[in-house]
Amino acid sequence: MNIVPLTAPKIALSMSLVVIAGVFCSQQSARADYNVDHLSLIPKVKARQLTASQIDEQILFSQKRLEASENSGRLPASSLKDLHKLLDRIVDRLRYFKNDGTLDDAELICLTTDLDSFKANIERSVEPLPDIAKHRADLERRLSICQNNGRLKPQRISALRAELKVIIDREAEFKSSDEILSEKEVHTLDREYLSLSSKLERLLPALPDLEDKALALRKNIDESLRVGSISEVTQKELCKKFDQIQFVEILFRNSDNGLTDFEILALNRKLENLNNDLKRALSVLPKGQTSSLSADVRGHWAEEYIKELCNRGTIGGFPNGTFKPDAAITRAQFSAIAVKALNLPDASKSASFKDVPETYWAVKAIGQVSGAGLVTGFPDGSFRPEDQITRAQALVVFAKALKNVQLNAESLADYKDRSEIPAWAISSIRKAASADIIVSYPDSDLIKPNEKATRAEIAALTYQTMSNLGEKLPSIRTGLDASQP
């Protein structure tokens, strides 16, 4: 057998390892409680060994780091408990090793290894810091999407961007010294980014339910044809547009197995536009198309009122040739009639009611009557455009439009139901009575303020108001105050 001779350095190193092994073995029985496998540490002698002062510094640093991680909430409760035990064990071991006044190499190696183990454990256990860059990029992306799809108004987008810039500037200030964020700074920025993200979520209106909206619209189109409110030609045109919207939705869904916010809003706008097309088809006839009204207007008590207003284009019937004089009328439809009857100017801004969106078919007319001070809406900020208008509501609008009316304190005395007039409408209805615009058939001594106004009644009230304002109209007395000659 060939024996390789050892050089002097190798002999010295071997002797050192033997000495260290001997020290470990001599201390093994006295320090068995710590269960240290000293021999396994011998290969690490050349790699790493802290001095006694470094051991003290590392223990202090580890205690502070554990405390900081605990305060930041980045350590799970179970890991926190185990790490406290591990660090306490290292401190106890250091105290035990110092009983003889010094720390030898074996003890330093043991403590170095324990501290390395503690460091590795805390690195594994501590949850990573929030990704600030990701938060920032996500907010910028979402704001861009909201701007492109119109889900938020431009002024709201600008305000949110200004808030985002404040946070970004603060982040830059934190990094100004060394381009590094401390743990405290990261958590501060994280809270601010998350707060702005939550604010954005609160401001975003709920995405529309396309399925319900589409079903309701198709039902309205078919029902309008059934009752004769639109022609077959119009119904076919509307259905063709409806089918095109449905086809686009299918393409969107097939492209990415679902609909993005942008696609939902785009489809919703198309459905709203189609609904407005239907509303326009259901609106009044243009000027001159009066012969088709004769079927259900001939012989009606309001026939003269209706014919005169239709000839002027102030009011009209439906495409199927009917007028439906005894049907109710919505607040939006009444607004459109009032704009024509009173020659109201264009409004400086759109209607500001929370339930009248920019795409609503009568948004312009509602803005005009509102801008003229004829309507104020309800206390909750709504207009309720699809509600059927009451006689009191209609009379208040017309009364506000009247000029130079000589008020008569006794103008309501001859009306049997004057006590039923709502408090908010008394002064306006007294003005309307003084101006002789109240029409009520067959009971001319009743105002019926809380009843839903019919299309015929609105025609009569409109006619009388226009006459009072100086329009050259034939005198019609049907349904007027019984006290009048």
At residue 179 the predicted structure's pLDDT band, cuts being 50, 70 and 90, is: confident
Clarify whether residues 456 and 307 are in a common domain.
yes
pLDDT at residue 207, rounded to an integer: 82
Give the C-alpha distances (Å, rounded to integers) separating 51 from 80, 102, 105, 107, 119.
Answer: 28, 11, 9, 10, 17
Q: Which amino acid is at 366?
A: I
Q: What mean pLDDT do residues 305-326 have?
A: 83
Instruction: Give me the sign of the Cα torsion angle 31, 32, 37, 38.
Output: positive
Q: How far apart are CA 241 and CA 226, in angstroms?
A: 19
Same domain, 106 and 149: no
Higher pLDDT, 249 or 290: 249
* Pair 221, 242: CB distance under 8 Å: yes
- Among 90, 110, 125, give the residue marking a domain's end: 125
393 shares its domain with 408: yes
- φ and ψ at residue 328, rounded to 5 degrees: -75, 170
Q: Which has more confidence, 22 or 410? A: 410
Which one, of 135, 267, 275, 282, lies nearest residue 197 by Cα? 135
Is residue 2 domain-resident? no
Residues 314, 450 within the same domain: yes
Mean pLDDT of the chain: 81
| Of 428, 421, 367, nearest in space to 401 by CA | 428
**pLDDT of residue 147 exceeding 90:** no
Phi, psi of 454 (to 5 degrees): -90, 165
What does the alpha-carbon distance between residue 470 and residue 405 come to, in Å, rounded to a whole number?
A: 13
**CA atoms in the 13 A half-sphere facing the CB of 228:** 10
pLDDT at residue 230 is higher than 80: no
Looking at residue 330, its pLDDT comes to: 92
* Residue 175: pLDDT over 80: yes
Name which residue leads in pLDDT, 391 or 289: 391
Do 230 and 112 lie in a common domain? no
What's residue 41's pLDDT?
46
pLDDT classification of 35: cutoffs 50, 70, 90: very low
Residue 362 in domain: no
CA dihedral 366, 371, 376, 380 (to 10 degrees): 70
Whether residues 181 and 221 fall in one domain: no
pLDDT score, position 475: 80
**What pLDDT shows up at residue 153?**
85
Q: What mean pLDDT comes out for the span 225-231?
A: 71
With a cut of 80, say whether residue 467 has pLDDT above it.
Answer: yes
Confidence of residue 293 (pLDDT cuts 50, 70, 90): low
CA 142 to chain CA mean position, Å = 13
Other Cβ atoms closer than 10 A to 472: 6
* Mean pLDDT, range 179-203, rounded to an integer: 86
Q: Is the pLDDT of residue 427 over 60?
A: yes
Q: Are residues 272 and 217 in the same domain?
A: yes
In-domain check, residue 307:
yes
pLDDT tens digits along 336-391: 899 999 989 887 777 788 898 887 888 888 999 999 999 988 999 999 999 999 99
Least confident of 41-50, 325-334, 364-373, 397-406: 41-50
Contact status, residue 445 vs residue 415, Cβ threshold 8 Å? yes
Same domain? For 184 and 233 the reply is no
Which of 363, 154, 384, 354 is closest to 273 using CA atoms?
Answer: 363
Question: Could you report the per-residue pLDDT of 390-423, keeping only the tens digit for each?
Answer: 999 999 999 999 988 888 888 898 899 999 999 9
Tens of pLDDT, residue by residue over 88-143, are: 999 898 888 888 888 888 888 888 898 888 888 888 877 777 888 898 999 999 88
Tell me the mean pLDDT in the region 230-256. Answer: 87
At which of 187, 203, 219 does a domain end?
Answer: 203
164 and 304 in a single domain? The answer is no
Q: Based on the domain organization, do 191 and 240 belong to the same domain?
A: no
Query: Which candidate, 470, 421, 408, 480, places its Cα nearest to that of 448?
Result: 421
pLDDT at 281: 76
Indicate whether 3 belongs to any domain. no
Provide the residue range defining the domain that includes 170.
Answer: 132-203
Q: Which two tokens stand for residue 25?
A: 């073995």
Indicate the pLDDT class of residue 453, thresholds 50, 70 and 90.
very high
Total domains in the fold of the chain = 4
Q: What is the pLDDT of residue 400?
A: 94
In angstroms, rounded to a whole number, what is the distance separating the alpha carbons of residues 278 and 337?
A: 18
Domain closes at, from 146, 177, 203 = 203
Residues 15 and 100 in one domain: yes
Percent pLDDT > 70 in the chain is 85
Q: Is residue 338 part of a domain?
A: no
In a domain, residue 52? The reply is yes
- Domain contains 103: yes
Is 231 inside any structural domain? yes
Asked whether residue 148 falls in the same domain as residue 234, the answer is no
